[in-house]
């Protein structure tokens, strides 16, 4: 799995519960506004990326699918863009385990930041830039079936 050049920011990541390759349940968590939840244009892959190095930029050319993904998820028009700096060696992700639950904060539809929790009911793989949770900064999620993970209702599967 690889982090694409363009993604849509959906929310702030709070935590992710994962069953790792050894069958152990691991809870990963991030501090206030430390990591963002992003989606690719096809809405089939989610990414949890560090927000430390973000900066606001003018929306880049293209990115129509990402803009549509954001607007569908949030109910808001997309007028902004942010640029993240992720070293190339962190963009290729390897299998880590299976998603159990994700928690995120979003102002979707209401304009007020609310904590949401989503339990995965079908197999969603979790990928990481490191073989262990320790030191990992970039995470990816993909449904085993290749189906969409985001809809107008929010996160699905």
- Stronger pLDDT, 39 or 52, i.e. the higher one: 39
**Tokens in use for 63?**
């990115």
- Chain position carrying tokens 């985001």: 150
Measured CA to CA, the distance from residue 71 to residue 10 in angstroms comes to 9
142, 127 contact by CB (below 8 A): yes
Measured CA to CA, the distance from residue 124 to residue 98 in angstroms comes to 6
Least confident of 17-26, 89-98, 123-132: 89-98
Total count of residues recorded for the chain:
157
Query: Tens digits of per-residue pLDDT, 59-118?
Result: 777 778 887 887 877 777 777 767 777 766 567 899 999 999 999 999 888 889 999 999
Measured CA to CA, the distance from residue 142 to residue 152 in angstroms comes to 18
pLDDT at 17 exceeding the cut of 90 = yes
């Amino acid at each position: 799995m690889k982090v694409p050049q363009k993604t849509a920011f959906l929310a702030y990541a709070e935590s992710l519960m994962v069953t790792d390759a050894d069958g152990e349940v691991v809870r990963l968590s991030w501090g206030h506004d430390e990591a963002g939840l992003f989606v690719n244009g096809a809405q089939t892959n989610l990414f949890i990326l560090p927000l430390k190095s973000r900066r606001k930029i003018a929306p880049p050319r293209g990115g129509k699918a990402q803009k549509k993904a954001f607007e569908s998820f949030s109910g808001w028009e997309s007028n902004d863009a942010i640029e993240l700096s992720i070293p190339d060696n962190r963009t290729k992700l390897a299998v880590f385990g299976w998603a159990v639950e994700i928690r995120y904060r979003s102002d979707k539809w209401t304009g007020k930041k609310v904590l949401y929790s989503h339990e995965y009911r079908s197999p969603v793989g979790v990928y990481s830039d490191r073989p262990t949770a320790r030191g990992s900064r970039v995470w990816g999620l993909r449904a085993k079936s290749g189906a969409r993970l985001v809809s107008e209702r929010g996160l699905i599967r």
